[in-house]
Every structure is written in C-alpha cells, then in structure tokens.
Amino acid sequence: MTKDELKQAAADAWQCVLAHPAADIKNYLMGQGIEFKGTVKPAPACCPLCQKKNCFGLLPGKEGGWLYKCHVPTCEGFKSGGIARFVEIQNRVDWKTARSMLHELTGIPDPYKMQDDKPHEGKMHEDQAGGDDPTDGSKTGGEPDWGEPPPTEEAGEERRYMKIPELGRNVYETFWAELELTPEHRAELKKKRGMSDGWIDALGLVSATRSNLEKLMPLLEKFPEKELLKLGLAQRNNRSRQIEVAGVLHGKSWNADTKEYQYADNIIIPYIDGAGRIIGLRPHKRGLSTRDHRKEEVDEFYNKTSENLRIIYGEVFLHDRPKEWEHSCVICEGEFKASGVAQCGIPAIGFQGIEYFA
C-alpha cells in the first residue's frame, strides 16, 4: 500500500469510527455511568474532567454528533471538542493513542496498525506515512483535526477567558456587553502593546467613546441607583443631582487646566476572575469608583469589594500555569504589562498604575 493509499484508508476508517454509536460522546460517557439531564443540551451533575458541579454539558455539532464543553476556565475541557480530544484529555494520552483506543472501542480496524503488523520488510509506519492524523472529523460531529498540534503562535489567541452567561449577567457584564472596541484602539493595541487580534478579543477589551452614552443610558433604569453609584458605573449630575452614566465610560473627563469637560476616547479593561466573570471595568489610567463611594480605610485597601476597585488584575492568568511557574508569577505595574507577559505564556498579575495610588 502506498503512502497516499494508506493515508486515505486511515481517513475513511476514521470517519467510520466517528459515525459509530460507541464513539458518540454521550454514549461514551453514559457507558462510564454518567447520567444526563436534558435533551437539547444534555448536562451531567458534574464535569467528568474537573469534577466541578453544574458546569459541563454537550452541544450539538454543526453536522451532527455532540461536542463537550466545560465552563470552568481552569478545566481542560474549557475549550470545546469532540470524542477524540475528550479521550485524549481524560486518559492523559497523546493523539495516536486516543485514536487507537477509539478504533478498539468501535471495533473498526486501524489501517496504520494493520500495516505495522504486516511481517514484511519495508512496512510503512504511520510516521513514515506522513504522520498526519485522519481527516477533519468535523464532518461527523464537529471533531477537529487533532493530528497536528495547533501552532504555538496561535495557541494563546484561541483562549477565551470570559464566560458570561446569556441570563444572570451581573451589572458589569451587562454594561460591557453594550460596548465595542474601535478599529483605532485595536490598531493601537497591536502596534504599541504587541497584542494579537485573538489576544485582544480574549481579554475583552472595549472602548470608551462618546457614542457609548446613548447605548448605556437605558441601563440606568434596570439596576438600583445605589448599586450603580457604588460600582462607579453612574454618577450624579452636579446640578440636577440625577444619576447619569459615568463619564469615564464614554470618554468624558474634567480638565483641571481649562476648567471644563472634555472628551477623549479610552480603552476599558475588564477585570476577569477565575470563573471567567467580569468583576470590574477600568478605563486605562482611570478608576471607576468615585471619591464619594470609594473606600479608603487601610484595612480594606486590598479587599476585593465592589466599592474598592484597587484589585489585582490577571487572576485568570494564574490558572493552568506551566510546571516551572506552579508556585510563582510575575508582578507587574499596570494591566497592559501583565497581559503582555501573560501573552508570552508566563503567568502574571498587575496592580493598577502607580498614579492611581498617589
């Protein structure tokens, strides 16, 4: 069998594996004693990978079959995938072993293994046959081609640190969802900060522009006045004393030199906790908490409270740390420095710029 013939035979056999009922990830997990609730998006009581409760479920693939997804950022199942990837993670094996396990599970012969077992000289090993894994299984259940490892340069770009629910969003998440990042700010982040498009999106960066005012005003009616003031998302008008959208969210600020308000676009940085939820929004070099509602007591200076946004940035970067960084990280001044270090694969946290502590 030639190299191309072997590769095609392996591809055809892999499609049969993925189409086999035993390789359906729902059936596979049920065979391990896991029970599911729901039919549209079946979900067990806990994730079979990280054992956390109410965070794991199955999603329909684009062309049939199921994809798994865990909503805990620290779980290896946070990035959705199909049966082959799941077997790989659960059993701590490489792709070739996972493929072999699925061939054995379904009873469908593996052309590569059959070729290896032939007792003649010059047999073609799968590595000699190109080393490629079978075809992109997305045609049968959305399983990606795990044959070649993803390019390291792009690996970080595929991260999605935030996990914001469609329902039950907190106030910060509701405001953030209305905002977008301008092309000018995206270009600035790429040129000045060295960020890739994927990394920018993973961090959830958005812009504070004058047009935000119209988008955010309706939200003032949806939340208690005291909560909006406490979180720094609203402020009182000096004359009417009515609440209005905080100026820092739409680029409005007071110029002490000219004694008048001015508008200048800015970048808003979401603070993301370990569960992927937004716990703060901070315009670059600014603070959302107003002087009236910020707590200044020393004993609460570092507390993670909604009244005090002097919190550590990059909590989410501390998960899935490489072994050499298991008990350490880089501490940076400013969010962008921390995110830049994290983009290089080094866990980092950042304190808000030193001018904020002056």
pLDDT in tens, 237-282: 878 888 889 888 988 876 777 777 788 889 999 988 877 888 888 8
Mean pLDDT of 79-97: 84
Which pLDDT belongs to residue 287? 59
Are 343 and 233 part of one and the same domain? yes
pLDDT more than 70, % of the chain: 76
Residue 149 predicted with pLDDT over 50:
no
Query: Residue 158: inside a domain, yes or no?
Result: no
Query: Residue 160: inside a domain, yes or no?
Result: no
- Total number of domains constituting the chain: 2
Are 90 and 185 part of one and the same domain? no
Are 272 and 331 part of one and the same domain? yes
Lowest-pLDDT range of 17-26, 54-63, 131-140: 131-140
> Which structural domain range is residue 93 located in?
3-149
Which pLDDT belongs to residue 207? 92
Are 216 and 303 part of one and the same domain? yes
pLDDT one-digit tens code per residue, 154-178: 333 345 677 777 667 788 989 999 9
Residue 84: CATH number of its domain: 3.90.580.10
The angle formed by the CA atoms of residues 321, 322 and 325, to the nearest 5 degrees, is 80
Lowest-pLDDT range of 228-232, 281-285, 296-300: 296-300
Mean pLDDT value across the chain? 75
Distance CA 165, CA 70 (A): 13
Distance CA 7, CA 279 (A): 50
The DSSP H or E segment spanning 279 is strand 278-283
DSSP code, position 150: P
Query: Residue 159: inside a domain, yes or no?
Result: no
Structure tokens at 116: 């290896």
Q: Which residues of 282-293 are buried (b: 16+ CB within 10 A; e: fewer)?
A: bbbebbbbeeeb
Are 142 and 8 part of one and the same domain? yes
Query: Residue 91: inside a domain, yes or no?
Result: yes
Its sign, for the CA torsion 291, 292, 293, 294, is positive
Confidence of residue 299 (pLDDT cuts 50, 70, 90): very low
Q: Which amino acid is at 18?
A: L
Distance CA 156, CA 313 (A): 18
Query: Residue 161: inside a domain, yes or no?
Result: no
Are 178 and 294 part of one and the same domain? yes
Are 143 and 255 part of one and the same domain? no
Residue 44 predicted with pLDDT over 70:
yes
Structure tokens at 170: 């907190």
Are 211 and 68 part of one and the same domain? no
Query: Residue 166: inside a domain, yes or no?
Result: no
Are 144 and 89 part of one and the same domain? yes
Are 219 and 303 part of one and the same domain? yes
Please give the residue that has the higher pLDDT: either 224 or 63. 224
Are 144 and 175 part of one and the same domain? no
Structure tokens at 198: 């994927």
